[in-house]
Structure 1
């Protein structure tokens, strides 16, 4: 009896992944700095243009927000009826993912990528609905604002004072085949707002005083332009060197059970990896003092949540055992060819003890060719 060759199985799995990738639909995203710049309008205009060119296009879901100019662009496009549901007595409409897949159009227009679905939906988030469509071989054109990008959460909060609840993983934009920046000067956006083209009249004054300030809009536009430029740069480098991504860098973030804001640490790492077009790793070292019998349930939950979040953001997660955090990280960095390490800034005495008071010094001394980023 012949035994299976593990290497042969790996090669077969690799080929299967290539086949599936070729069969998957393509994703195009209209990216904007804020509501009202014309993302949905542009998506519908393209949908109509494709239809006139003989392409089978449907509207999977669109939210015109009672904007006449946008609603008019729906025109003769076929609309897949939304799925109707109620939540706490409120009638809600959601994209009927199964109906779109059953219809099997060439292109589906799906608005508001960051939307959170009703509790009884197949998926929790609309971007997960879009992933289902792509896996079914349906091409998707969608829309999203820059403030919904996961890795920008802290930057957006610091800039605008707004905590964005609905967010999409950076990986969604990274996997997109095309991103189009829909931009308008801050002055034009404020004029559109005052003219009632973005929000109802009762919301205009508050919006101008808070989110739609000149400072906020300018900063959000800068973020959008930067993200679009990074996307184009990554695509170009992929085309030039598709088989050697790791040559551009490998990024590692050190996770601590008692460290600083883990969300900020992960977002910084994800953005750095995206800019380098690099793979990134979230590494947690469990020392004897944090064994299963000594660590409390709350700390364990916090570590697990952090590692789970890292995985959702596109990082590869490693949990290791070691007597020394610093030695374990140095060993990992050497084995995986790490070029950049992200760590939190030491704070309370207990944190310095966890890091054995010299993590940064050890990393700098043992890994002189590695860039150390302190958050």
Structure 2
């Protein structure tokens, strides 16, 4: 129990997880428990949430090396009941713990943090399986171009990202066979600045095939939502070549496409 705790003075190793690593090397299975606030990489975030710097911590590799992680998820109300019943701390420490680290708002935030950590692990595990994907977190990609409507698309995409609490990306596909004018280059820079103002990541790739480039980026970054503008091409070109939307629908089976209507110049 309590994998993150420190061993008693005089022990061969300082931490319990170090004992576990030695036992595992000997080929013996180990079952242990760990609270979300004890993971090293989350220490600063936990301190911001609770105002408490947790001293007992384990390296992330301990969790990453586990063959299986099971989340014991209880509501804040249930945890409070267990505390009041004396199932976690001695009676003299109950009131102090409820007024400090175990405040209701802290418990809600820590519970969400634990569920997100598990979701990340599920995605990473699925990504290692050939031909399988499991995108639990939403990720929004806005496809910008040299058309003026790109700024509108970025704003709409940022709103969608905020609603979904999603990561935000913007992509510009540079055609290597075509040089941008000065005005077009400035427009792309403006798109990049606006993307960064929305705390997004601006991506720029070179490819003569726009649909293929968008598809590859979407797969690489595990995008779940794509925002594009309606086609600026003539009906004849759409009939001959097919629209960008049609090409993306064929190549991306599990991605939602948002086609934003814009005024044509």
TM-score by length of 2: 0.48
Tell me the TM-score normalised to structure 1 length: 0.34
Greater RCO, 1 or 2 (C-alpha within 8 Å, sep 6+) = 1
Please identify the structure whose Cα radius of gyration is greater: 2
Q: Which structure shows the bigger proportion of residues in strand conformation?
A: 1
